[in-house]
Amino acid sequence: MVAFAANSLFCRLALKEGSIDPASFTSIRLVSGAIALLLIISMRNIGQMKSAFSINKNTALQGGALLVYALFFSFAYIGLATGTGALLLFGSVQITMLLIAFLKGERFSLVQWFGFSMALGGIIFLLFPGADAPSILPAASMIIAGIAWGVYTLLGKGVNAPVTQTGKNFLFASYIILPITLCTVFFERHHLTWQGSMYAILSGVFASGCGYAMWYSVLPRLKVTLASTLQLSVPVIATFMGWLFLNESVSTLMIIASSLTLFGVAIVISARRSNST
């Protein structure tokens, strides 16, 4: 969870001072993440290296969703505080997954609808016009990133050899983002410094590559409810990191919105567990 939250911190550190443009950050993050995952795959099972370079429909769908998430995530952090971005991302991910579950036939109890409404209300409350409200375009970008990550998560549910599949997804996304980055160079929208590149590499190698590998390694040992509940900590950790490393203040609006969103999701998760037992 610290690695997931660190993605928000590294991206905000890189983009706050304009030391890198969003497309370049995304490109370096995905490519370095792919390299890190390939190294991990080779150390775990060298025989899986060949399959990591194969592309099929499932890889294209997951890699495409990963790319949309990573690109909009980077653009969002031009104008969002670390914790605010993490809350919008996390809330959008969970709401997307719950909506898709509902559309697939899962029916919510009254308690679950209450929790879902509370979570959605927290996001809306955060975006409500006011002095502490985030800018609409960065917020919309992060919500799109969250929707894409929710779709990516559902597409990868039940996949065999998840670390290998994640490496394939990062490779596919890298193939697509590199031409986009070259376009930014051609149209002179490219800005890159060693500091921004360092943050992007840290995000790709440690927070993304190693972080995802660790998560997928322990995920089979966790109950679904526990795994979902653990992710509730990500916006809280990201907010603390933003306060500690970037001196970002925590507004009353953020506290209320976080409480509504996180408690709402927790209620839905808890009710789903009760219904399944």
pLDDT at 72: 97
Q: For the ranges 15-24, 29-38, 163-172, which has the lowest average pLDDT?
A: 15-24
199: nearest Cα among 22, 29, 4, 27:
29
Q: Are the C-beta atoms of residues 215 and 153 closer than 8 Å to each other?
A: no
Q: Are the C-beta atoms of residues 77 and 8 closer than 8 Å to each other?
A: yes
82: nearest Cα among 206, 254, 200, 201:
254
Domain boundaries, position 205: 2-276
pLDDT at 197: 94
In this predicted structure, the answer to whether residue 110 has a pLDDT above a threshold of 80 is yes
Global confidence as pTM: 0.89
Number of domains present in the structure of the chain: 1
Instruction: Determine the Cα–Cα distance for residues 42 and 52; give it in Å rounded to an integer.
Output: 10
Question: Mean pLDDT throughout 83-110?
Answer: 89
Question: Mean pLDDT throughout 238-261?
Answer: 92
Q: For the ranges 55-69, 105-119, 164-178, 222-236, which has the lowest average pLDDT?
A: 222-236
pLDDT at 275: 65
Confidence of residue 199 (pLDDT cuts 50, 70, 90): very high
